[in-house]
Amino acid sequence: HEDMAVLDLVAQMRNQGAMSDEIHASLKVGTRGDAPVIQPNEVQAIVGAEHESRLSLENERLQQALLIARNELEKARKDLERLDEVEKKTIRLEAQLESERQAKQEIITLLKAQVEEMTKRNEDLSLRAGTEYARGFVDGFREDAQKGQGHNKIDN
């Protein structure tokens, strides 16, 4: 009610050409205009319109918040899709690495077996070569010994 009386005074003084200083001074000393008589149904209409306006503003704010939330949700979905792709790629790469690791381990095992076999063959060949050399050496002595005995028989 007080607000309506203030508004009425301001409207009257402006219509009369009063300056803002004069309006302010009048309000300061307590001068007020006549508050209009408003019927209860008019008050209800004003309050209803004000309430409707507030609801409309609140609805608009909620619509904006909803739009922002939807955009953030979409961004989060896209981020999740990218993370899923990275995870799948990581799993594939880990599987590939494990497969390569196993293949390398099999090659190492095979090469170790080949080295071991070649080492054994080398040792066997060395032993046989040594034995053959020794046998040849002994046979050579025997031949020399037999020739020497035969030579001695001829000389005698």
pLDDT tens-digit readout, 104-135: 999 999 999 999 999 999 999 888 888 887 78
Does this model's pTM top 0.75? My answer is no
% of the chain residues with pLDDT over 70: 85
Dihedral angle computed from the Cα positions of residues 111, 113, 118 and 124, in that order, rounded to the nearest 10 degrees: 170
Residue 40: per-residue pLDDT: 67
How many folded domains does the chain comprise?
Answer: 2
- 46 and 16 in one domain? no
Q: Rounded to 10 degrees, what is the CA torsion of 107, 111, 114, 115? A: -170
Q: What percent of the chain has pLDDT over 90?
A: 48
| pLDDT at res. 115 | 97
pLDDT greater than 70 at residue 31: yes
Looking at the structure, tell me whether residues 59 and 12 fall in a common domain: no
Which token pair is 132?
A: 């053959």
Q: Among 3, 17, 93, which residue's Cα sits nearest to residue 46? A: 3
Query: What is the domain range of residue 5?
Result: 1-37
Q: Which residues contact 13 (CB under 8 A, 6 or more apart)?
A: 22, 23, 26
Is residue 95 in some structural domain? yes
Residue 151 belongs to a domain: no
For Cα atoms 133, 137, 143, give the angle at the middle one, nearest 5 degrees.
140
The pLDDT score that the predictor gives to residue 66 is: 96
Contacts of 62 (CB under 8 A, 6+ apart): none
78 and 44, same structural domain?
yes
Are 33 and 84 in a shared domain?
Answer: no
The yes-or-no verdict on residue 48 having pLDDT over 70 is: no
What the block records as the tokens of 58 is 């609140």
Q: Which of 6-15, 106-115, 135-144 has the lowest mean pLDDT?
A: 135-144
Q: How far apart are CA 127 and CA 121, in angstroms?
A: 10
Q: Is residue 86 part of a domain?
A: yes
96 pLDDT above the threshold of 90: yes
Does 3 share its domain with 33?
yes
What is the chain's mean pLDDT, rounded?
86
Residues 67 and 101 in one domain: yes
pLDDT surpassing 90 at residue 146: no
Token pair 């390398």 is found at 104
> 44 and 69 share a domain?
yes
pLDDT of residue 2: 75
pLDDT at res. 156? 45
The three-class DSSP label of residue 152 is helix
The verdict on 95 and 71 lying in the same domain is yes
